[in-house]
Amino acid sequence: MSRGEDCYGFEVFCKDFRSVKFASRQENHSRRKLYECLQMYSFPVSNKLTLFAFESSERFSFDGWSIYEPEKEYARMGIPNDTWRLTKINSHYDFADTYPAILCVPASADDEDLKKVASFRSKNRIPVRLVFLVYCRALYVRTFILNMKLV
């Protein structure tokens, strides 16, 4: 690889078909050192290096499973409002085990309506609100219609 008269380097072809190009100035004489580092860290076991995944022992002061708070996320999106409400019908995951504990549903539908609708849906998967993109006014609703039972 050539980057002009005063630069040179090499290109690495990755197994995911990406390529990375390294260039350095000739006066630095750093190409050999860079090549050796790449060679060494590309084959850590052969070079008796410990892998970062096994070496890292960082401890976190918080429980990562408790970071997401659905009520706060929905409040950030302006919910509940006149159109949408939150329901805890699935708080123990016994209503629809593939859905979260707190659902955002149309305000006009009470929990009894949701139970009735769910009986006609695969795995009780009722339409629920996922996200509303303000910048393009697009509403994404999650629902699955396949294998629906009709009366």
Per-residue pLDDT of 133-144, as tens digits, reads 454 555 555 544
Highest mean pLDDT among 4-18, 23-37, 76-90, 112-126: 76-90
The answer to whether the CB of 117 falls within 8 A of the CB of 123 is no
Query: pLDDT band at residue 85, thresholds of 50, 70 and 90?
Result: very high
Q: Is 80 exceeded by the pLDDT of residue 68?
A: yes
The predicted pLDDT at position 99 comes to 87
- CA dist 119 and 117 (Å) reads 5
Query: Parallel, antiparallel, or unpaired for β 84-87 and 7-13?
Result: unpaired
**Main-chain phi, psi angles of 82, to 5 degrees:** -65, -25
Helices (H), the chain: 31-42, 52-55, 70-76, 111-118
- CA dist 131 and 79 (Å) reads 10
The answer to whether the CB of 34 falls within 8 A of the CB of 24 is yes
What contacts 141, CB < 8 A, 6 or more positions away? 127, 128, 129, 130
The answer to whether the CB of 124 falls within 8 A of the CB of 144 is no
List Cβ<8 Å contacts ≥24 apart for 30-35: 35/10
